[in-house]
Amino acid sequence: MADNFSLRCYCYLDRMQPQYAAFVGTVTQGDLPTEGMAALYVEMAPGNEAFRMVDIAVKSTEAKPGAQLVEREFGMFEVHSHKQSDVLEAGRIVLDRLGLKESDRIKPEIASTQLITNVDPYQAQLLNRFRRGSLLVPGETLLVVEVAPAAYINLAVNEAEKKATIKLLHVSSVGRFGRMWLSGSEAEMVTARDAAIQAMENVEGVKG
């Protein structure tokens, strides 16, 4: 592997949660995932390597590609399947071709978290213009979490949905930082925040 290659994110989701899977279905340009599928997100630099890695993953397994995004700096792809073994095998093959181990990935960092209680009606209206998921209702608590590298936000939001009763408003997983907006009661948003942070802390990797 070239000296300048960076495995920015290697992120396995064992079971896509209902709202998360539904949200991904609104933004993906590839094969549509559904609730309960396993998924793998891989982010790398230089970004053009994503084309080759997707080709390897889908030719070698039954996993289906949902996303393949290449920006100026980073590339990212996602594959998913009803069979966890297909997704795990796709990841194993990609790592093998790269000559890397899962532990060579960059460990995610929480860039920021915000809890905004009793959201004002005007702010709710403004945020609703940019969301792709549920509507933010005035009076709810808004949770905003930002992580780096960006693709790890997919794990953060999926784990938050496992642990808390949430409304998923928006997820952005491309660029330097990944962001998620969730809403609900204050207590549930605290639980969701803690679950997201714990998920990031549990990922082993190298310092970015």
Indicate the fold that domain 109-201 takes in CATH. Answer: Alpha-Beta Plaits (3.30.70)
Chain Cα centroid distance, residue 125: 25
Task: Please state the rounded mean pLDDT for residues 117-139.
Answer: 97
| Angle in degrees, CA 153, 154, 158, rounded to 5 | 115
Mean pLDDT of the chain: 95
Task: Provide CB contacts within 8 A for 122, sequence distance 6+.
Answer: none
What does the pLDDT read at residue 11? 96
The answer to whether 142 and 166 have CB atoms below 8 angstroms apart is: no
Domain regions of the chain by residue span? 6-104, 109-201
Task: Please state the rounded mean pLDDT for residues 110-130.
Answer: 97
Residue-level length of the chain: 208
Which tens digits make up the pLDDT trace of 52-111? 999 999 999 999 999 999 987 899 999 999 999 999 999 999 999 999 999 999 999 999
SS3 assignment, position 54: helix
Asked if the domains 6-104 and 109-201 are classified in one and the same CATH topology, the answer is yes
Does residue 2 carry a pLDDT above 80? no
Indicate the fold that domain 6-104 takes in CATH. Answer: Alpha-Beta Plaits (3.30.70)
What does the pLDDT read at residue 71? 85
SS3 assignment, position 89: helix
Neighbours of 163 (CB within 10 A): 15
What does the pLDDT read at residue 68? 92
